[in-house]
Homo-oligomer: A and B are copies of this chain.
Amino acid sequence: MVSIKDIASAAGVSISTVSYALNGSDRITKETADRIQSIANELGYVPNRAARLLKKRETMLVGVFLTDFSGHFYGDLLFGLKEELNRRDYDLIVCSGRRSHRMIPERAFDGAIILDATFADEELIGYADRGHKLVVLDRELDHPNVNQVLLDNKAGATLAVEYLLGQGLSRICAVGGPESAFDAQQRMRAVRQAVERVPEASLEELPGAFDKASGYAAGPRIAEAAGEGPAGVFCLNDEMAIGLCDYLRTQTALQIGKDVHVVGYDNIELAQYMQPRLATIDYSKRKWGALAAEQLLKMLEGRPVEQERIYVRLVEGESVGKAY
């Protein structure tokens, strides 16, 4: 490994001169700086990030924590994040899994973005207390070192339910998310409110876990309910909606968009390839990422941060039809 010490002796100068030259300080003559630079290149010098970090306490790195890597969802979000961070000379790295949590207190990066249910609120507060800057995308936390960029879950869930109701479907089923999931809680609350506002509407809540399997598992009960007349089903995310459709298609003779009407949430890519096309709630994942990055950068630079929210819109699809 070649260090500045090697460069220094090769150039016949002191290590501090090398350090200054390499970091572009104007205390050094252009000639010596150039000479040192070219010697560094020649020797294939690469700064030691550990040493620098030990001294400067700055990684220029941002960590993003995801619950898992199961695709679909995260591509655009990460793209939005990376783009914004790179613009400001920060690099992005993605982590997942409990083991990796420790990188936050170990100061592996200057800040972190959390979209990861495996973090408990208290854990995050603990990091924030120690001075680590956090942006959370999946919960609300009141702390000077934490900011959030949240989906407008209330608007989205309301749109979804009102879409069903507007089609004349008054028997609403909602397939929920994990107990602990903030997004699921918010959406379900909005569902209840929206249904309550309509006297003749009824609501049945089914458990779910935001994955295909739990959508599939909700199938039997929903098929049963559909026996008593057309039902409008709001799955709190697309993944479950797709699982449910899989069930209905393979295990029953019920027609989606006719006997059972299904709306999802997230507008994942798969949704548009479903037959019939899945009605869902859409929002810009890329913008979500970009905004999160921006918030974190502001915190890192000590600039004031204003609360942001990601707006949503309804995407209609043939998975929902008119009730007769």
List residues of A whose CB falls within 8 A of some B CB. 44, 46-51, 53-54, 63, 68-75, 78-79, 82, 86, 91-97, 99-100, 102-103, 105-108, 130, 242, 269-270, 273-275
Nearest chain B residue, comparing its CB with the CB of A63: B93
Q: How many copies does the complex hold?
A: 2
A72: chain B residues at CB < 8 Å are 71-72, 75, 269
Q: Once bound together, how far apart are the Cα atoms of A255 and B69, in whole Å?
A: 36
28 A–B contacts, CB within 8 A, in A order: A46-B102, A47-B106, A49-B108, A50-B50, A50-B107, A54-B54, A63-B93, A68-B75, A68-B79, A69-B74, A69-B78, A69-B82, A70-B79, A71-B71, A71-B72, A71-B75, A71-B269, A72-B269, A91-B97, A91-B99, A91-B100, A91-B103, A93-B94, A93-B95, A93-B100, A269-B270, A273-B273, A273-B274
> Within the complex, what minimum Cβ distance (angstroms) separates A7 from chain B?
15
Nearest chain B residue, comparing its CB with the CB of A98: B86
Q: Once bound together, how far apart are the Cα atoms of A102 and B86, in whole Å?
A: 14
8 tightest A-B CB contacts, nearest first: A71-B71, A69-B78, A50-B53, A94-B94, A46-B105, A71-B75, A70-B75, A49-B106
Q: Once bound together, how far apart are the Cα atoms of A81 and B71, in whole Å?
A: 15
B48–A54 touching, CB < 8 Å: yes
Q: Once bound together, how far apart are the Cα atoms of A46 and B93, in whole Å?
A: 21
A94: chain B residues at CB < 8 Å are 69, 93-95
Query: Assuming A44-B130, A94-B93, is B73 touching A71 (CB within 8 A)?
Result: yes
Q: Once bound together, how far apart are the Cα atoms of A308 and B136, in whole Å?
A: 41
Nearest chain B residue, comparing its CB with the CB of A2: B130
Partner of A273, one of B96, B100, B270: B270
Q: Once bound together, how far apart are the Cα atoms of A48 and B55, in whole Å?
A: 12
Q: Once bound together, how far apart are the Cα atoms of A116 and B235, in whole Å?
A: 36
